[in-house]
């Protein structure tokens, strides 16, 4: 089997890509298991084990223009990474798919989409004002994105301090706990938004499906429910990221992440196929 250093679906230059994959290998603030900086390349490697045909959506992705722009330079401080990502996204014409990295990278990846609704799948609220003395800690990501002006909906949450839950309720942030999650209910909760940016923290899934994450939390979601939700709103999704994968030795989690990227692109493509 051929394995290369780019995502297996990549078949064109970044400039002509309809869907553009890029990595942000940053994990400076992870508080339990570090290593998500290795995820972009591990997910690319895992993608070569997957077929380009989506049985779920009946889409042959080898016929779609998909590019891989490589990784954002993550030298220096977080502000520099944000600026590099903004500059990169300013030149992107296709649909961007970011691979983290810790969840902090979503603040950079959403910089082009501040008028969209930020829909995040996450085991944690990530609504702390600061953590470990850092306002851009991974535990503060959704708070910073909300403060940037984006509306927010959180699905799959099952961990966080009481103050975060209160902040969500006082500020009109919609959320569903993992045990309350239903695809149809979640789709209905975001039906009023014509532009949606989707962020998938892979710890939203139960550790049985995704053992290789920075902060695993029991009682999580099933990956197929995320894909069904994504398909239900795909025509309105303007950008997507997958974060917090810490590659595991059995390649389970990075393979799941690669499969989700493949199926998310297929769901978007399916929207454009005449009925």
pLDDT digit string (tens) for 158-203? 999 999 999 999 999 999 999 999 999 999 999 999 999 999 999 9
Distance of alpha carbon 104 from alpha carbon 91, whole angstroms: 22
Annotated binding site for Mn(2+): 103, 122, 124, 126, 201, 203
Q: Give residue 31's pLDDT.
A: 82
Q: What is the mean pLDDT of the segment spanning 83-87?
A: 97
With vertex at residue 170, the alpha carbon angle to CA 169 and CA 176, rounded to the nearest 5 degrees, is: 15
Residue 6 located in a structural domain: no
The 3-class SS string of 249-262 reads: CCCHHHHHHHHHHH
Annotated binding site: 103, 122, 124, 126, 201, 203
Residue 5 located in a structural domain: no
pLDDT of 85 above 70: yes
pLDDT digit string (tens) for 236-265? 999 999 999 999 999 999 999 999 999 999
Strands 95-100 and 19-24: parallel
Lowest-confidence region among 89-93, 127-131, 176-180? 127-131
Q: Looking at the 3D structure of the chain, how many domains does it have?
A: 1
Distance of alpha carbon 55 from alpha carbon 48, whole angstroms: 17
Q: Give residue 118's pLDDT.
A: 98
Residue 62 located in a structural domain: yes
Q: What is the mean pLDDT of the segment spanning 14-22?
A: 97
* 70 φ/ψ sector (left φ>0, alpha ψ -120 to 50, else beta): left
Residue 220 located in a structural domain: yes
Residue 54 located in a structural domain: yes
With vertex at residue 253, the alpha carbon angle to CA 250 and CA 254, rounded to the nearest 5 degrees, is: 90
CATH number of residue 247's parent domain: 3.40.800.10
Q: Give residue 80's pLDDT.
A: 97
With vertex at residue 183, the alpha carbon angle to CA 191 and CA 254, rounded to the nearest 5 degrees, is: 110
Residue 3 located in a structural domain: no
Tokens read off for 35:
């290593």
- Whether the predicted model's global pTM rises above the 0.95 cut: yes
Q: Give residue 52's pLDDT.
A: 97
Full domain range(s) for residue 170: 14-271
Residue 8 located in a structural domain: no
Residue 236 located in a structural domain: yes
- Longest CA pairwise span in the chain (Å): 53
pLDDT of 273 above 90: no
């Amino acid at each position: 089997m051929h394995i290369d250093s780019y995502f297996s679906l990549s078949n064109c230059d970044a400039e002509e890509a309809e869907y553009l994959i890029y990595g942000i290998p940053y994990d400076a603030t992870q508080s339990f298991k570090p290593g998500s900086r290795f995820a972009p390349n591990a997910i690319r490697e895992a993608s070569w084990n997957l077929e380009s045909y989506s049985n779920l959506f009946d889409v042959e992705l080898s016929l779609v223009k998909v590019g891989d722009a490589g990784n954002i330079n993550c030298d220096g401080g977080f502000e520099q990474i944000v600026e590099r990502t903004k500059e990169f996204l300013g030149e992107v014409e296709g649909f961007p798919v970011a691979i983290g990295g810790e969840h902090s990278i979503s603040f950079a990846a959403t910089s082009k989409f501040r008028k969209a609704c930020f829909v995040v799948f996450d085991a944690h609220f990530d609504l702390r004002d600061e953590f470990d003395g850092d306002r851009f800690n991974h535990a503060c990501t959704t708070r910073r994105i909300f403060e940037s002006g984006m509306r927010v909906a959180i699905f799959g949450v099952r961990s966080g301090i009481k103050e975060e839950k209160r902040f969500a309720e006082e500020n009109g942030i919609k959320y569903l706990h993992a045990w309350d999650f239903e695809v149809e209910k979640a789709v209905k909760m975001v039906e009023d938004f014509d532009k949606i940016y989707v962020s998938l923290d892979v710890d939203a899934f139960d550790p049985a499906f995704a053992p290789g994450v920075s902060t695993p939390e029991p009682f999580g979601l099933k990956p197929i429910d995320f894909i069904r939700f994504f398909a239900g709103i795909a025509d309105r999704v303007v950008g997507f990221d997958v974060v917090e994968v810490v590659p595991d030795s059995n390649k389970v989690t990075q393979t799941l992440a690669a499969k989700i990227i493949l199926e998310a692109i297929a769901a978007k493509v399916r929207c454009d196929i005449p009925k």
